Chain A
Amino acid sequence: MVAKLADRMLLSGDEAVALAAFNAGVLLGTGYPGTPSTEILEAFAALGGKAQWAPNEKVALEVGIGVAFAGGRSLVTMKHVGVNVAADALFTAAYTGVTGGLVLVSADDPGMASSQNEQDNRHYARAAGLLMLEPADSQQAYDFAAAAFALSEQFRQPVLLRMTTRTCHSKSIVTQTALPGPAQAPSFERNIPARVMIPAYARPAHHALRDKLARAAAYAENCAQTIVEPRSKALGIIASGVAAMHAREVAPEASLLQLGFSYPLPMQAIRDFVASVERCVVIEEGDRILVTELRAEGLAVEGKPERFRFGELNADRVRRILEHDDSPEAKIPGGKPPALCEGCSHRPVFEALNRLDCIVSGDIGCYSLGVLPPFTAMDTLVCMGASIGVGLGMRHVLPPEQAKRVVSVIGDSTFVHSGLTGLAEMVYNPPPTGHVVLIVDNGTTAMTGQQEHPGTGRTLLHDATGRLLFEDIARAMGIADVITVDPMASDVVLDDVLRQALDSGRLVVIVARRPCILAAPKIRQYERAAAEKRIGIAVRVDG
């Protein structure tokens, strides 16, 4: 299939992956929004692909596995930390294998442009035992994504497509090609030993997995993603991802081996390359994974100093590695930090938390900016949903006069993602001083660019669908004190509600609801469209 677009296009890596998925006949794209991965599903939907946001990454991957078991191709997208959430499903999907092609995009964020850590998800390929491809620009994002679907079906394994902020968000030229579709149409085929991972079936499945990886390693030796550019014999560079582009820029004369197929490694090709040059340097962003593995094979390769483990690589840093330049890097002047928008409904909430001297167990979203001045009203932030568990933990052990000041603050999308189990914990193991969970509901996944979620009652394409009501959920879980406030109502009201909740010693859920000021006009438009549709249907029924 080929999308009805120009043949030569300027696309981001995210858009290129979406285009490849569309052309490869992907039946369902699913994921959870997360910078820098978010645009993939949006672009896939814009092309006409069926795409949907899942409540979190684990559910997204499980849905993708279901599609693949049924014989269809599926694309599952998430940021690097999202793979942690999905990891439970991922590790065992490596055992079950798949029928339809399943590609999981892990969008890593070295340098942490918009993330809480800079974990290197190349480790997941090794830990779970999954094939991994790593594109270096948008054309490779297209070509490798296309290859990933085919490889997933060839090896009957999920394939990890590892992107980084630079490959996701950089735009470069893409020429689209027609892609072969899936080998079969979805149809259920019973295969109990392959898909039911009780120990008796999982033990042989683990052996089967290792056999597949051995075959994949042999395949990687001569595949289109193992790219050798022989030039000077004096210097050879082994690189993966965008680091290969930096390397080519600073050392145009060097021989280059780009490991686009980065797990399992094409060890013979690497050995031949190392033997073909006098000096061989491994250029890799993030952890020192490749250099460690190549040295374990007995290969004499140079790596990078520890300090280049931190942050992104760039041409200058690659030059430093190649030239053993250990002079201090120039300090880049700090720009203006981001801030909560003027008129943002989170502002009065953090002002109140600050006034009441609360101990704030925070969470992930725009409202994480509540940590910065003038609010300075966030004391912890770990991962999606952690506000509730961490807040409860502190309540359990702090002296009562401190425990009573602890509030868990969580956004609407984050609450659906990982807050529900936190509420279950709160009801099941209540701290002696009670607890207060404050859901700051601005009606959208604001931070990543205003995506819908189950709490908005609209689909990825903003059409009306089922909606989770946070107040009903909290009450159904056994929390009697559920209060809804408009955070913009007045400081007095907000302070009163919070103070009473903190003083009550009970379990309280406060929903502070007011649409994101940036999203509000669009939300009104979606609601109007939904209302018109409802009236249209009613008229037809009446008529």
Chain B
Amino acid sequence: MTQVINVVVAGLGGQGVVKASDVLADAAFRCGLDVKKSEIHGMSQRGGSVASDVRFGPHVHSPMIPTGQADFLVVVAPDQVDVNRHVLKAGGLLVSPASLEKVPGKLQAKSINVALLGVLSRSLEIPLEIWEDAIRGCFPEKHHRLNLEAFEQGRQAVAG
């Protein structure tokens, strides 16, 4: 990985947007990369729109992803896709609940955020065991199984 990878995670307050960006940032961190992650807290706690920028690579300066330079946009709420699309660069990948159509089995609503990371993981050079360590590191133990399963379901949703 020689370039900085830019991922925006977006959705509504209460959907685990910040948690998903924590897992991603932690996974990149465990790869030994430089990582910066940034979002606005505060009023977003009250169900409003929230977006988190995660950047990783050999060296990251600004914590914010410049508009139109996101390589990936992960949106947890279907109705937040349009208001966030502008962050993607040309040819960038959108990961949204629509990406989970081919999920095997039933997906728990509250772990859609982690399932979407499973989809995203197919496009990133982060080893599976590091993702799993990051999930275990970011959730309390009683939620490990649920989230590891959701992550795997997300991976399965992507052909290949």
What 1/0 mask marks residues of chain A from 142 to 168 whose CB sits below 8 Å from any chain B CB?
Answer: 000000000000000000000001100
Main SS of chain B's interface residues? mixed
From A369, which residue of chain B is reached at the shortest CB distance? B46
Q: How far is the CA of A432 from the CA of B26 in the complex (A)?
A: 61
Main SS of chain A's interface residues? loop
Q: Which residues of chain A come closer than 8 Å to B38, judged between CB atoms?
A: 166, 169-171
- Determine the interface band of chain A, counting residues with CB < 8 A from chain B: 35 or more
**B37 & A332 in contact (Cβ 8 Å cutoff):** no
Q: Which residues of chain A come closer than 8 Å to B34, judged between CB atoms?
A: 172-173
**A36 located at the interface, meaning its Cβ lies under 8 Å from any Cβ of chain B in the complex:** yes
Q: How far is the CA of A114 from the CA of B13 in the complex (A)?
A: 14
Q: How far is the CA of A113 from the CA of B51 in the complex (A)?
A: 12
**B46 & A338 in contact (Cβ 8 Å cutoff):** yes
**A337 & B48 in contact (Cβ 8 Å cutoff):** yes
Q: Which residues of chain B come closer than 8 Å to A447, judged between CB atoms?
A: 42, 45
Distance between A413 CB and nearest chain B CB, rounded to angstroms: 15
Distance between A327 CB and nearest chain B CB, rounded to angstroms: 14
**B64 & A166 in contact (Cβ 8 Å cutoff):** yes
Q: How far is the CA of A330 from the CA of B67 in the complex (A)?
A: 9
Q: How far is the CA of A91 from the CA of B82 in the complex (A)?
A: 49
Q: Which of B37, B46, B82 contacts A341 (CB 8 A)?
A: B46
Q: Which residues of chain B come closer than 8 Å to A333, judged between CB atoms?
A: 82-84, 86
**A315 & B66 in contact (Cβ 8 Å cutoff):** yes
Q: Are A248 and B41 CB-contacts (below 8 A) given A173-B29, A173-B34, A335-B80? A: no
**B45 & A330 in contact (Cβ 8 Å cutoff):** no
**B44 located at the interface, meaning its Cβ lies under 8 Å from any Cβ of chain A in the complex:** yes
Q: How far is the CA of A249 from the CA of B12 in the complex (A)?
A: 29
Q: Which residues of chain B come closer than 8 Å to A171, judged between CB atoms?
A: 25, 35-38
**A529 located at the interface, meaning its Cβ lies under 8 Å from any Cβ of chain B in the complex:** no
**A106 located at the interface, meaning its Cβ lies under 8 Å from any Cβ of chain B in the complex:** no
Q: How far is the CA of A207 from the CA of B3 in the complex (A)?
A: 54
Q: Are A10 and B46 CB-contacts (below 8 A) given A137-B63, A246-B61? A: no
Q: How far is the CA of A449 from the CA of B13 in the complex (A)?
A: 13
**B66 & A316 in contact (Cβ 8 Å cutoff):** yes
**B46 & A242 in contact (Cβ 8 Å cutoff):** no
Distance between B125 CB and nearest chain A CB, rounded to angstroms: 19
From A8, which residue of chain B is reached at the shortest CB distance? B29
What 1/0 mask marks residues of chain A from 103 to 114 whose CB sits below 8 Å from any chain B CB?
Answer: 000000000011
**A170 & B63 in contact (Cβ 8 Å cutoff):** yes
Q: How far is the CA of A337 from the CA of B12 in the complex (A)?
A: 10
